[in-house]
Amino acid sequence: MYYIVETGKSFDQASTDLDAAVKRRGFGVLHVHDLGATLRSKGIAFEEDCRIFEVCNPTQAARVLAADMRLNMALPCRISVFTEKGRTMIGLIRPVEMLLALSQDPEIVQVAREVEALTIQMVDEAK
């Protein structure tokens, strides 16, 4: 269900490289949640770093929503850069498995396959 890779890059460099890879693949970065910083700002002793990139391709999103508007709750795609015990990781929940749990519509499955291939390429490129 997950696609996660380890990188030898720093957390900040992996984040920068992921942002660039997303844009090269025709997706946009809608928002980046700095979860680690947010938790620390609330007084929580959180040692790890975690940035969640909300990424979207408008054409693909429109195809999903045209087939089933309820799936807006599963959009946009999220790719995370995070640290775990000193290692930097980049990962995502595979769109095919996630959307198959929500719909068996062939159009949605096709979009999920296309998006999954591209998001995995982004992760691998940023690695």
Per-residue pLDDT for the chain (127 aa), expressed as one digit of tens each? Answer: 999 999 999 999 999 999 999 999 999 999 999 999 999 999 999 999 999 999 999 999 999 999 999 999 999 999 999 999 999 999 999 999 999 899 989 999 999 999 999 999 999 999 9
Residue 82's domain spans which residues? Answer: 2-126
pTM: 0.94
Tally of structural domains, the chain: 1
Q: Burial level of 58, CB count in 10 A (0-12/13-18/19+)?
A: exposed
**Residues in CB range of 100: below 8 A, 6 or more apart:** 109, 112
Report long-range pairs for 32-38 (Cβ below 8 Å, ≥24 apart): 36/82
Residue 20: which CATH number?
Answer: 3.30.310.70
